[in-house]
Structure 1
Amino acid sequence: MASPCHVLGVDFGTSNSAAGYLCDGLPKLIELGPGSKTLPTTFFFDFDTRKTLTGAPANQALLDGIDGRFMRALKRVLGTTLMHEKRQILNERVTFVEIIARFLRQIKIRAETETGLAFEGVLSGRPVAFHGTDDPREAQAEADLRACYLAAGFKHVAFMLEPEAAAIASGALDQSGEVGLIVDIGGGTSDFSLFRSCSDGVKILANHGVRIGGTDFDRAISIHQVMPLLGKGTQLRKTIGSGGTPVPTAIFNDVATWEKIPFLYTPQNRRLAVEMARLAYEPEKLCRLVTVLEDELGHELAFAVESGKMTANTGSAEAQILLDPIERHLSCPLSNTDLGEILAPYSHSLRTGAQETLRLAGVDAASVERVIYVGGSSLMSMVSEAMKKEFPSADHSFTEVFTAVTDGLAIASARAQWVLSS
């Protein structure tokens, strides 16, 4: 005899994750932390206790200076060869598939504990593009994520495009005939979905995605504002002859990139930084880079940039990126004007992404009645400013930007037709 398979909707995000299911006709989100329906997609491997922490405890362990390794933005590793390479972490050699699976298993356990249900199926959100349209890594990225869910203990895995889930959550099912655009700006990707609401559901007219997200904004700000304080753009004395040579830029790009920070702290990189400081015309700056590598402060720097970004986004003309962990009283300014100038190329790319979505659907901008913003990075003012220029006559609405995708997945999960054999 067959029995229904309970299905959990899961939004595994670059920065935050959430899960939910349909209860009494309404989406109900799982409490993944004390009083919180979202869980930071972060990991901390404590070298002393040999324990793995996730979410808020992982963030706090990093901020408390506990000896260990912190990881974030692993969603951006999907589809790359890094996913299946074994790395020594604590007492074992594991792949990123196994690390992500453990995170997803915790979500599954918390959902089953809270509800008393056995979730053997999962409806997972996925971006329109993990890496880019026609990128050969696209199929592998979805296959990797599927492997993570299966390793986490789910028996059945299906995917729904995140913007489509957000459209369902926005109430589009109740607005028959409306043409709308979902603008989903997450931590690692930006997705656009043009849809028409129909009596029997949401009809997706076109999807388009670009590999731009909040972590890219952080990277650009860090490279532009912070890395010069660590020596980027300075000169080194030549070991033979007179004159100088530019400091290599690769190390600064890695320090500024969330997903690359865990791999910075190698003996080779530390030796390189020390040698550059020895040869530097401005050694005090390169000594700060040495400190970041020796004391493993890359993530503290990244969080400082993220915090400064959010303050500047409020319109503050005097926002600062505070870098005290690196050097007491060290900071750099980041005004709202600075922020706009640094992120201008991304604003242009987002407008181009929206235009491409319209082109794919054969729809003009004037036909779009509503623009719906989803994803934490959609709260950046430059995002809505770019879209308002493109769609001046549309209604612009912010839904539950952090949980709209999960709400939609929870609603859609009730329609899943999986059946388990007894």
Structure 2
Amino acid sequence: MKHIGLDFGTANTSVSVLDGEELAVLPLERQSVSLPSTLFFDFEDGSTQIGQAAFDRYYFGDQGRFLRSFKSALGTRTIDHTIRIKHDTYQIRDIIRHYIGEVLSRAQAQLGTTIDSLVVGRPVNFIDDNPLADQQAEDTLRQIVSDLGVSNIEFQLEPIAAALNYGVTIVGEEVVLVIDIGAGTSDFSVVKFQAKGSADSVKSEVIANCGIHIGGNDFDKVIALERVMPLFGYRQRFKRRPELEAPRSYFLNASSWHQIDLLYDRKVLATLAELEPQMEQPDTFARFSQLIRSRQPHKVLTSVEQAKRKLGADDATQVEMPFVEDSVSLPLSVSQLNTHINELCIQIIATANQAIENAGLKKPDIDTVYLTGGSMGIRHLSQMVASEFEHSKIVEGDRSTAVARGLALDAKVKFG
């Protein structure tokens, strides 16, 4: 029996399979095992694309509608938000169903069989401090996967899945703090492992879980808002009411991957047109209106994200926006990045410590800190983790596939 795991992520998605003793992550696009969680509706030929192909269609100018980070809508009112795509209307739940359906179709084609049983990863909290909304998010995702023909659906917390992937390497006894920093959430589990020298002998006890709705997308948001959006009129004031700034909500939406589509509305565009002549610098604010009309905020965030990643190794870079009039390029240094994201990183570290406290332990009790998730590539955050847990062994897992691999291992436990 093949045991399957689905890691549907805010930024990327993976499917894993445990076939006997062989554990693998399936290549879903060309040879890549990590598929961007994106979708593009092509207005010219009526086709839809997912993954990197969707991004390429959008970025290189094909006429259509681009969506990304739709997982973040789970558990929020946005899940029922209706968007118009050419002559049709869709809810965000329809977008998620279409995307996951294509992912499962590609996986089944490689497996040569239908997927009847599936373990799906989920964050510790889809929504912070709201158990009802959190359960609604899981129920919605369960219904979507069920609608796609999967009969047996189980969920596993993403940090526990990552822990299971690490656990097969353990010999002896370890208390492990798993830190999984994704695009949408940061999740933590404290797990006690006991092993006698083989993968089959590993026993695990989950002592505590904790999570916070902060991730790489939030880093992008604060960088875009503080560094880029002033070029488009953010914090600009009204001519006749200088005590008032331009409405902040539009710039917040333009800086948030999963809320950009809220701006593609005729009423929003009409309001922006009305605001332009009222601002102190109408030409600057007009640039923002044009950004929305040309549906390019995703390109802005892509430029921000690329600059953020470069600063994982470099000390300075540029946020390059050739698609904006006059081909704007803004400098961004490591120091500036650290200043912008520092408060978010402090909250992440505090939540990691909360997980240890919830486990009834202290930091010296943690033998190993296991790191995974794409946003662990942020240098400032990784340095803060190393400093905070200086007495523990730091192990870096595969940022893209650790969770997916653990989900397949868990599928064997759950489905036999």
TM over 0.5: yes
- Given that residues 36 and 50 in structure 2 are in contact (C-alpha distance below 8 angstroms), is that contact kept between their aligned partners in structure 1? yes
Q: Say yes or no: does 1:27 pair with 2:23.
A: yes
Secondary structure of the structure 1 residue equivalent to 2:361: coil
In the superposition, the TM-score normalised over structure 1's length comes to 0.93
Q: Say yes or no: does 1:179 pair with 2:175.
A: yes
* Structure 2: tracts of 5 or more residues without a match: 196-201
- Given that residues 26 and 411 in structure 1 are in contact (C-alpha distance below 8 angstroms), is that contact kept between their aligned partners in structure 2? no
Secondary structure of the structure 1 residue equivalent to 2:173: coil
- Given that residues 179 and 369 in structure 1 are in contact (C-alpha distance below 8 angstroms), is that contact kept between their aligned partners in structure 2? yes
Deviations 1:92-126 (A, max 9, x none): 43332232122222222222211212211110011
Q: CA-atom RMSD, angstroms?
A: 1.7
Secondary structure of the structure 2 residue equivalent to 1:153: coil
Deviations 1:164-203 (A, max 9, x none): 1101111356333201111100010000111110244221
Please give the alpha-carbon distance, in whole angstroms, between the structure 2 residues aligned to 1:305 and 1:50.
30
Q: Once the 2 structures are TM-superposed, how far is the Cα of residue 247 of structure 1 from its aligned partner?
A: 1.6
- Given that residues 365 and 391 in structure 1 are in contact (C-alpha distance below 8 angstroms), is that contact kept between their aligned partners in structure 2? yes
Q: Once the 2 structures are TM-superposed, how far is the Cα of residue 81 of structure 1 from its aligned partner?
A: 2.7
- Given that residues 130 and 141 in structure 1 are in contact (C-alpha distance below 8 angstroms), is that contact kept between their aligned partners in structure 2? yes
Please give the alpha-carbon distance, in whole angstroms, between the structure 2 residues aligned to 1:244 and 1:357.
44
Secondary structure of the structure 2 residue equivalent to 1:174: coil
Letter paired with 1:341: T
Name the counterpart of 1:202. Answer: 204
Q: Once the 2 structures are TM-superposed, how far is the Cα of residue 214 of structure 1 from its aligned partner?
A: 0.6
Q: Say yes or no: does 1:117 pair with 2:116.
A: no
- Given that residues 82 and 91 in structure 2 are in contact (C-alpha distance below 8 angstroms), is that contact kept between their aligned partners in structure 1? yes
Deviations 1:20-59 (A, max 9, x none): 1112413111110101111100011111211111111110
Name the counterpart of 2:296. Answer: 297
Name the counterpart of 1:327. Answer: 325
Name the counterpart of 1:9. Answer: 5
Deviations 1:127-151 (A, max 9, x none): 1111114443110010011011112
- Given that residues 167 and 193 in structure 2 are in contact (C-alpha distance below 8 angstroms), is that contact kept between their aligned partners in structure 1? no
Q: Say yes or no: does 1:407 pair with 2:405.
A: yes
Q: Say yes or no: does 1:395 pair with 2:393.
A: yes
* Structure 1: tracts of 5 or more residues without a match: none
* Equivalent position to 1:64, from 57, 60, 64: 60
Letter paired with 2:273: V
Name the counterpart of 1:313. Answer: 312
Secondary structure of the structure 2 residue equivalent to 1:235: coil
Question: Percent identity, aligned pairs only?
Answer: 29
Please give the alpha-carbon distance, in whole angstroms, between the structure 2 residues aligned to 1:313 and 1:400.
16
Name the counterpart of 1:220. Answer: 222
- Given that residues 185 and 374 in structure 1 are in contact (C-alpha distance below 8 angstroms), is that contact kept between their aligned partners in structure 2? yes
Please give the alpha-carbon distance, in whole angstroms, between the structure 2 residues aligned to 1:93 and 1:237.
39
In the superposition, the TM-score normalised over structure 2's length comes to 0.94
Structure 1 residues 83 and 244, CA gap change in structure 2 (3 angstroms): closer
- Following TM superposition, the consecutive aligned residue runs of length 4 or more in structure 1 with deviations greater than 4 angstroms are none
Secondary structure of the structure 2 residue equivalent to 1:48: coil
* Equivalent position to 2:94, from 98, 122, 125: 98
- Given that residues 70 and 95 in structure 2 are in contact (C-alpha distance below 8 angstroms), is that contact kept between their aligned partners in structure 1? no
- Given that residues 15 and 73 in structure 1 are in contact (C-alpha distance below 8 angstroms), is that contact kept between their aligned partners in structure 2? yes
Deviations 1:338-363 (A, max 9, x none): 00000010111011101111110011
Name the counterpart of 1:347. Answer: 345
Letter paired with 1:22: L
Please give the alpha-carbon distance, in whole angstroms, between the structure 2 residues aligned to 1:383 and 1:172.
27
* Equivalent position to 2:125, from 108, 113, 129: 129
Please give the alpha-carbon distance, in whole angstroms, between the structure 2 residues aligned to 1:180 and 1:275.
56
- Given that residues 174 and 192 in structure 2 are in contact (C-alpha distance below 8 angstroms), is that contact kept between their aligned partners in structure 1? yes
Name the counterpart of 2:198. Answer: none
Q: Once the 2 structures are TM-superposed, how far is the Cα of residue 243 of structure 1 from its aligned partner?
A: 5.2
Q: Once the 2 structures are TM-superposed, how far is the Cα of residue 91 of structure 1 from its aligned partner?
A: 4.7
Please give the alpha-carbon distance, in whole angstroms, between the structure 2 residues aligned to 1:22 and 1:105.
21
Please give the alpha-carbon distance, in whole angstroms, between the structure 2 residues aligned to 1:278 and 1:223.
22
- Given that residues 31 and 37 in structure 1 are in contact (C-alpha distance below 8 angstroms), is that contact kept between their aligned partners in structure 2? yes
Q: Once the 2 structures are TM-superposed, how far is the Cα of residue 415 of structure 1 from its aligned partner?
A: 2.4
Structure 1 residues 218 and 370, CA gap change in structure 2 (3 angstroms): same
Please give the alpha-carbon distance, in whole angstroms, between the structure 1 residues aligned to 2:380 and 2:404.
25
Structure 1 residues 48 and 351, CA gap change in structure 2 (3 angstroms): same
Please give the alpha-carbon distance, in whole angstroms, between the structure 1 residues aligned to 2:190 and 2:108.
35
Name the counterpart of 1:285. Answer: 284
Structure 1 residues 89 and 267, CA gap change in structure 2 (3 angstroms): closer
Please give the alpha-carbon distance, in whole angstroms, between the structure 2 residues aligned to 1:188 and 1:273.
29
Secondary structure of the structure 2 residue equivalent to 1:205: strand
Name the counterpart of 2:245. Answer: 246
Letter paired with 2:69: A
Name the counterpart of 2:199. Answer: none
Q: Once the 2 structures are TM-superposed, how far is the Cα of residue 154 of structure 1 from its aligned partner?
A: 0.9
Letter paired with 1:312: L
Q: Once the 2 structures are TM-superposed, how far is the Cα of residue 64 of structure 1 from its aligned partner?
A: 1.3
- Given that residues 184 and 191 in structure 1 are in contact (C-alpha distance below 8 angstroms), is that contact kept between their aligned partners in structure 2? yes
Please give the alpha-carbon distance, in whole angstroms, between the structure 1 residues aligned to 2:172 and 2:69.
37
- Given that residues 3 and 18 in structure 2 are in contact (C-alpha distance below 8 angstroms), is that contact kept between their aligned partners in structure 1? no
* Equivalent position to 1:384, from 378, 382, 386: 382
Letter paired with 1:72: R
Q: Once the 2 structures are TM-superposed, how far is the Cα of residue 263 of structure 1 from its aligned partner?
A: 2.1
Please give the alpha-carbon distance, in whole angstroms, between the structure 2 residues aligned to 1:399 and 1:293.
39
Secondary structure of the structure 1 residue equivalent to 2:192: strand
